């Protein structure tokens, strides 16, 4: 898939405010500071599509981008950022979970994980919730350029081992880097393949 056009459509704080669910949709989510905005910009080939911030927790709305006028990419707020108030975090969590459960055209989530870190409790709990809710997702590791191939392979093997203690089957896994462009083609192939099964 070649991305020829990517444009910001709207920011929403409720699923009811999102664009009409007439096109296939893919949402990107992860812990604060996982590199979500940079990955979105790398995938779309635009340095300014998703706003990159030096301070975690910047995204506080659901941001819809229309890609090639044929599918939506959604930038969801990061989770696990302690400097936001507990009330705010609870509000975001309700908003995100309601969107995930009710958005009829959401075909898959890309759950971003920093490849440098060992499995984090809130990531694991979120994965289990997605599985129990029967929401398809792709485990998308970020910042692979920070480790090198040996480090990536080692950490990836450890992560898989941890998951397989509870999971009979692993979700799709893609290793990415917003610096080198690693994983871009795999993500776009996955989306192109999944778009083909979309039905209104």
pLDDT tens digits for range 85-133: 777 777 778 889 999 999 999 999 999 999 999 999 989 999 999 999 9
* Residue-range domains of the chain with CATH: 6-195 (3.40.50.300)
Report pLDDT for 87. Answer: 76
Where does the pLDDT of residue 84 fall: very low under 50, low under 70, confident under 90, or very high at 90 and above? low
- Of 25-29, 31-35, 102-106, 115-119, which gets the smallest average pLDDT? 31-35
- The answer to whether 78 and 36 have CB atoms below 8 angstroms apart is yes
The beta strand positions in 36-192, using DSSP E, are 62-67, 71-75, 106-114, 137-142, 173-175
Q: Is the pTM of this model over 0.95?
A: no
Residue-wise pLDDT for 136-170, tens only, equals 999 999 999 999 899 999 999 999 999 999 899 99
Where does the pLDDT of residue 182 fall: very low under 50, low under 70, confident under 90, or very high at 90 and above? very high
Q: 111: which residues sit within 8 A by CB, 6+ positions away?
A: 29, 30, 123, 126, 127, 130, 137, 138, 139, 140
How many residues are given for the chain? 200
């Amino acid at each position: 898939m070649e991305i020829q056009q990517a444009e910001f459509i709207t920011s929403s704080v409720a699923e009811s405010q999102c664009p009409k669910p007439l096109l296939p949709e893919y949402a990107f989510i992860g812990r604060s500071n996982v590199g979500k905005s940079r990955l979105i910009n790398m995938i779309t080939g635009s340095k300014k599509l998703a706003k990159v911030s030096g301070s975690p927790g910047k995204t506080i709305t659901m941001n819809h981008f229309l890609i090639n006028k044929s599918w939506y990419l959604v930038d969801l707020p990061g989770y696990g950022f302690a400097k936001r108030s507990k009330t705010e975090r609870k509000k975001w969590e309700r908003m995100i979970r309601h969107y995930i459960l009710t958005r009829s055209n959401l075909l898959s989530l890309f759950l971003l994980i920093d490849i440098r870190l060992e499995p984090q409790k809130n990531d694991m709990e979120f994965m289990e919730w997605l599985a129990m809710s029967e929401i398809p997702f792709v485990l998308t590791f970020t910042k692979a350029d920070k480790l090198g191939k040996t480090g990536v392979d080692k950490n990836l093997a450890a992560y898989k081992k941890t998951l397989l203690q509870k999971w009979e089957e692993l979700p799709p896994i893609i290793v990415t880097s917003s610096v080198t462009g690693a994983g871009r083609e795999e993500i776009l192939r996955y989306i192109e393949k999944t778009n083909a099964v979309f039905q209104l």
